[in-house]
Amino acid sequence: MKRQPVESIALSLKIIVWIVAVPAILITILLSLEIWSEASYLVDDTTCVVVAKTDLTVGIMLSTNNLARHRFDDSKLETDDYVCYGDASVLFGHKLIADIKRGEPIEWHSTDIVITNQVNSQQSSGTDK
């Protein structure tokens, strides 16, 4: 078996280091940028709310088929009555009492949940209207 000169082996090792190190460095940089952008996304002044996936009319039953999520600047949300995305499951099976256009936030007062809660609290306190 013929022995390779030391220079040839050293060159091969340098090539291997470059083949392994450069992609590893690039991956590390890209992951750092992704984490940084995600972190800045989470600390900005936005809120993830439930929106209408399509135009919704009064009486429609709410489900995953007609609801979506969207992140809004806090300054663009006109009220604090919107449904946060984390509370979306509460809406499932309830009906709308107001029309909602596609992409508009779902507000609690536009669902029958408000009426149901008012009726339940009146019944528990014994004051039916």
Q: Is 119 helix (H, G, I), strand (E, B) or coil?
A: helix
pLDDT tens per residue, range 62-120: 999 999 999 888 777 777 889 988 888 999 999 999 999 999 999 999 999 866 555 55
pLDDT tens per residue, range 58-71: 999 999 999 999 98
Number of H helices, E strands in the chain: 3, 2
Tell me which of 3.40.50.300, 1.10.8.100, 3.30.420.10, 3.90.1210.10 is the CATH number of domain 45-125: 3.90.1210.10
Domain ranges (residues) in the chain: 1-44, 45-125
Phi, psi at 60, each rounded to 5°: -70, 140
Phi, psi at 73, each rounded to 5°: -65, 135
What pTM was computed for the model? 0.55
- Chain centroid offset of residue 102 CA: 17
Assigned token pair, 107: 């507000």
